């Protein structure tokens, strides 16, 4: 099946209305697996963003969602989750068609994790408590969490529905209204979710979806003076621009989850190298390497380097690109022709820099018209090379040998990024030391990419600031207000 489900509309959702762009402009959504047009989206801009923000503000000020009893908001959100669950197969198909990722992943990972996120924050609504201060007998003081107001959420194309839920669910759980600018490459699942949410009883105006480019719609949202916060997942350069836009407008809050160049460290004392090889392969090749936490730098202790790399290549050779709609496919297409060509350019650059290409390195399945790449591994990569230091966002792994734990720690931290890291070792003392000294927001020990909604997600350094997931994400969408009552003595 390559057609959209019949009830999917590509139009913007503003309040309860479906809208085209005011100037009639459209953006094609391309199926990455075939290179063909899947749908045409409205290329919205400042006019539509302004309308959506106005609707969101009106809903917030009316108070019908903000002031609703927490358990009532919880019931509405759980009905929305039930609506998503009832259409899980449609969402999985949509995500595969517009992103190129295997349907086995969208069925087993993307849609279930989005659903889990929505239910987690629905259940958390009535578990947010204020604080009572020790003010003395003549005064009662307490602090409460007030919703911010209108949240602008800009979400990426690599996990369209899941990342949208990371922003939408905690924001609306706290009583805010939200305007979402999805990636122009993958807007359909988010637009369809808005329809499901309205059908389930989410008040109109609480959630608004405005597709368009970052340069037009995204910039208009970030610069809007009636938006109280921008939450963004994407690239570093765009994150920097959003900070400028926030400062140049109404000094709105900004939360950024940006890029990564995550180190995956393998010590010789770990007893099961086959397990590590499997994890290392999927740590970079899952979702075609288009993951901000991808283990793109593999640091291997030199005494096991040759043996481990042989095991790794053996695993990687079983990971072949294929039709994303085939349930047997584990490696789909990268998001666009531009992205594919950019990754191929990085591969050519690594070869010029002298890295050893030991697997892949080419476009695959050209006859499909899609944007497929072979799993690619470079060995003996220089730590100072572009491949070792710059985010590729594709199925390309850089293997770097090391001799001592001190060298491994230096290599791991020697990057402008600090999103994720992981290590495999039989020594819990070494693991504990590295967990404390690695400069990353996420540290995984004897595993990779543990995805737990109850734990915060975010980075150090130029990987951004602010956290998604966990109760910490709820609090970032709220203001802390202190209230005092005096009692005459």
For residue 223, what are the contacts with CB-CB under 8 A and spacing of at least 6?
A: 245, 248, 249
For residue 446, what are the contacts with CB-CB under 8 A and spacing of at least 6?
A: 270, 423, 424, 425, 431
Phi, psi for residue 178 in degrees, rounded to 5: -130, 140
Please confirm, yes or no, whether 257 is among the known catalytic residues.
Answer: yes
CA distances from 243 to 223, 250, 254, 323, 426 (A): 10, 11, 7, 39, 43
Q: Please, are residues 184 and 212 in contact by the beta-carbon 8 Å criterion?
A: yes
Could you tell me the two tokens for 325?
A: 């709609």
Q: Please, are residues 209 and 187 in contact by the beta-carbon 8 Å criterion?
A: yes
Buried-state track 142-157, b at ≥16 Cβ within 10 A, e below 16: eeebebbbbbbbbbbb
- Give the distance from CA 282 to its chain's centroid: 17
For residues 26 and 222, give the distance between their C-alpha atoms in angstroms, rounded to a whole number.
Answer: 21
CA distances from 110 to 91, 113, 161, 211, 213 (A): 9, 5, 7, 20, 23
Phi, psi for residue 397 in degrees, rounded to 5: -115, 135
Antiparallel, parallel or unpaired: β 263-266 and 420-424: parallel
Phi, psi for residue 458 in degrees, rounded to 5: 170, 175
* Catalytic-role residue among 51, 95, 257, 301: 257
CA distances from 430 to 68, 263, 274 (A): 50, 16, 21
> End-to-end distance of the chain based on CA atoms, in angstroms?
76
For residues 341 and 349, give the distance between their C-alpha atoms in angstroms, rounded to a whole number.
Answer: 12
For the annotated catalytic residues, the residue numbers are 257
């Amino acid at each position: 099946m390559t057609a959209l489900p019949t009830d999917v509309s590509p139009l913007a959702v503003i309040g309860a209305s479906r809208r085209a762009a005011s100037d009639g402009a459209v953006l094609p959504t391309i199926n990455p697996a075939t290179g063909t047009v899947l749908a045409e989206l409205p290329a919205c801009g400042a006019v539509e963003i302004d309308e959506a923000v106005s609707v969101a503000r009106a809903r917030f000020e009316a108070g019908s969602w903000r002031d609703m009893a927490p358990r009532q908001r919880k019931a509405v959100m759980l009905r929305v989750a039930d609506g998503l669950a009832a259409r899980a197969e449609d969402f999985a198909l949509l995500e595969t068609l517009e992103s190129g990722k295997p349907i086995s992943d969208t069925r087993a990972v993307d849609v279930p994790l989005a659903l889990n996120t929505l239910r987690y924050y629905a259940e958390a609504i009535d578990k947010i408590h204020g604080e009572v201060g020790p003010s003395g007998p003549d005064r009662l003081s307490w602090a409460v969490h007030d919703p911010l107001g209108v949240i602008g959420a800009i979400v990426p194309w690599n996990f369209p529905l899941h990342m949208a839920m990371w922003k939408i669910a905690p924001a609306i759980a706290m009583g805010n209204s939200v305007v979402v600018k999805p990636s122009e490459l993958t807007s359909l699942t988010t637009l369809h979710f808005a329809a499901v949410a309205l059908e389930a009883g989410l008040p109109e105006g609480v959630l608004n979806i405005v597709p368009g480019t970052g340069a037009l719609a995204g910039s208009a949202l970030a610069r809007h003076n009636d938006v109280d916060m921008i939450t963004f997942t994407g690239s570093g350069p765009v994150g920097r621009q959003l900070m400028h836009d926030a400062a140049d407008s109404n000094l709105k809050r900004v939360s950024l989850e940006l890029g990564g160049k995550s180190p995956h460290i393998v010590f010789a004392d770990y007893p099961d190298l086959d397990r590590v090889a499997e994890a290392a392969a999927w740590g970079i090749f899952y979702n075609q390497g288009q993951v901000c936490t991808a283990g793109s730098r593999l640091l291997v202790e030199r005494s096991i380097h040759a043996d481990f790399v042989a095991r790794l290549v053996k695993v990687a050779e079983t990971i072949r690109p294929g039709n994303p709609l085939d349930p047997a496919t584990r490696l789909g297409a990268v998001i666009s022709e531009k992205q594919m060509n950019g990754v191929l350019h990085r591969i050519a650059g690594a070869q010029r820099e002298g890295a050893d290409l030991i697997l892949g390195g080419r476009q695959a399945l050209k006859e499909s018209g899609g944007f497929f790449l072979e799993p690619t591994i470079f060995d003996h990569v220089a730590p100072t090379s572009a491949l070792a230091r710059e985010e590729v966002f594709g199925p390309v792994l850089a293997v770097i040998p090391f001799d001592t734990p001190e060298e491994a720690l230096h290599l791991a931290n020697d990057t402008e990024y600090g999103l994720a890291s992981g290590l495999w070792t039989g020594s819990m003392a070494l693991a504990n030391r590295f967990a404390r000294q690695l400069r990353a927001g996420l540290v995984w020990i004897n595993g990779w990419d543990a995805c737990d909604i109850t734990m915060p997600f975010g980075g150090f350094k130029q990987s951004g600031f602010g956290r998604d997931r966990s109760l910490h994400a709820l609090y970032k969408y709220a203001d802390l207000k202190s209230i005092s009552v005096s009692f005459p003595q």
